[in-house]
Amino acid sequence: MDEPIKTDVVIIGAGPIGLFAVFELGLLDMKAHLIDILDKIGGQCAELYPEKPIYDIPGIPYTSAQGLVDALLLQIKPFNAQFHLSEMVEKVEKIGDPLFRVTTDQGKQFECKIVVIAAGGGSFQPKRPPIPGVEPYEGKSLFYSVRKMEAFRDKRVLIVGGGDSALDWTLNLAPIAKHLTLLHRRSEFRAAPDSVNKMMALVGEGKIDFVLGQVTALHGEQGQLSKASVKINDGSVMELACDALLPFFGLTMKLGPVANWGFELKNNELIPVETASFETSVPGIFAIGDINWYPGKLKLILSGFHEAALMAQKAYHYVYPEKRLVFQYTTSSTSLQKKLGVAPAPKESQPA
């Protein structure tokens, strides 16, 4: 196992609240690594509804969910946050005072003084396809995400679905797969029109196949697929040879391993916090955004931003116990402006 990655703060969740936490922590000289189960930055805003309009961000009459994520990424650029995507945090252990060891499902470990849970409603879990007997193939030749494209080189790949993930991976894997088939139950897609057009162009060039239908059965031995039975929309059944199946049937929200980290949960799904800094019952672990609970809680992005700001104030005392925290405004503090790269240039001295 590689040496643990050492940092001030580990943020679990790379949605808007986790991103803004980077900003508030960065202003106070705390470095952060973010871990997210998704393969992209932005949480459910980016994954589930990137084009959804948002009207209640202060000072911004209108933005899209993806537009907000893009703006937050630009805002935190000076702080050089590190992202670890397609990874799920499985374990958080207290190993010092304060010091935590955070372990992901990929075996990656972090050592940090602060843990911030900004995981929204929990971790995104892929929806299992309604195909009998899928379990033996999961993780061996049936995958719900692509973590290493090279694993599919020279393979016969069957992708099932009609959303952005299905189309994106169709386009990305087509050049390296031995043969690729996209299967969808109807000719209409939920993906970006440009992706659909590019996919259809590959079909027209004979580089991939597109089939209208649904998988009804899987065939293979010891977890390795050899073919899938497909019911075509005209009622007939065909068999598609495949070495790997990628079903993209959407995501569902589950609290996931967080439920086993020793917190007393509210309704088995929310983490209670105190409202001075949104710290949990475990000192040094904070919960901000939709995953926390306190009296009067509102599940709004702007509420999560407020929680991130107060969290950072308390976190500072764990990371820098010997230092005194002086509250400053970004509008008037030249030191904060330098961190953001917006400090005005010094005035040239006038000749006597």
Query: Are the C-beta atoms of residues 211 and 230 closer than 8 Å to each other?
Result: yes
Over the stretch 157-167, which tens digit does the pLDDT of each residue have?
A: 999 999 988 99
What pLDDT digit, counting tens, does each position of 15-34 carry?
Answer: 999 999 999 999 999 999 99
Q: What is residue 186's DSSP assignment?
A: S
Instruction: Name the band, by pLDDT with cuts 50, 70 and 90, for residue 117.
Output: very high
List helix spans (H) across the chain: 16-27, 43-47, 65-76, 164-173, 193-204, 301-319, 334-340
Of the pLDDT bands very low, low, confident and very high (cuts 50, 70, 90), residue 192 is: confident
Amino acid letter at 342? V
User: pLDDT band at residue 271, thresholds of 50, 70 and 90?
Assistant: very high
Answer whether residue 123 shows pLDDT above 70.
Answer: no
**Is the alpha carbon torsion for 194, 199, 204, 206 positive or negative?**
positive
Residue 116: strand, helix, or coil: strand
Q: DSSP of 207-230, one letter per residue?
A: SSEEEEEEEEEEEEETTEEEEEEE
Q: What is the DSSP letter of 15?
A: S
pTM given for the model: 0.69
Q: Give the pLDDT confidence of 85-100 residue by residue, as tens digits.
A: 989 899 999 999 889 9
Tokens 């005005």 — which residue? 344
Residue 49: the pLDDT is: 67
Whether 351 shows a pLDDT value over 80: the answer reads: no
State pLDDT tens for residues 199-247: 999 999 999 999 999 999 999 999 999 999 999 988 899 999 999 999 9
Listed residue (241, 214, 244, 246) closest to 230, CA to CA: 214
Asked if 323 and 285 touch (Cβ cutoff 8 Å), the reply is no
Residue 259: per-residue pLDDT: 73
What are the φ/ψ torsions at residue 278 (nearest 5 degrees)?
65, 35
Dist CA 271 CA 268 (whole Å): 9
**What distance in Å separates the CA atoms of residue 35 and residue 321, rounded to the nearest whole number?**
26
Residue for token pair 């983490």:
271
8 Å CB contact between 114 and 135: no
Task: For the chain, list the domains and their CATH numbers.
Answer: 5-124+252-340 (3.50.50.60), 135-248 (3.50.50.60)
What are φ and ψ of residue 258, in 5° steps?
-55, -35
281-332 pLDDT per residue, tens? 999 999 999 999 999 999 999 999 999 999 999 999 999 999 999 888 888 8
Alpha carbons 299 and 45: distance in angstroms, whole number: 14
What's the whole-number mean pLDDT along residues 248-254? 76
Q: Which tokens is 280 given?
A: 């949990």
Residues 143, 146: Cα–Cα separation, whole Å: 7
What are the structure tokens assigned to 282, written together? Answer: 């475990």
Check pLDDT > 60 for residue 45.
yes
Residue among 170, 145, 157 nearest 227 (CA): 157
pLDDT band with cut points at 50, 70 and 90 for residue 40: confident
Average pLDDT, the chain: 90
Are 224 and 141 contacting, i.e. CB atoms less than 8 angstroms apart?
yes
The pLDDT-based confidence of 7 (bands split at 50, 70, 90) is very high
Residue in the structure block whose two tokens are 């190993």: 95
Cα distance between the two ends of the chain: 65
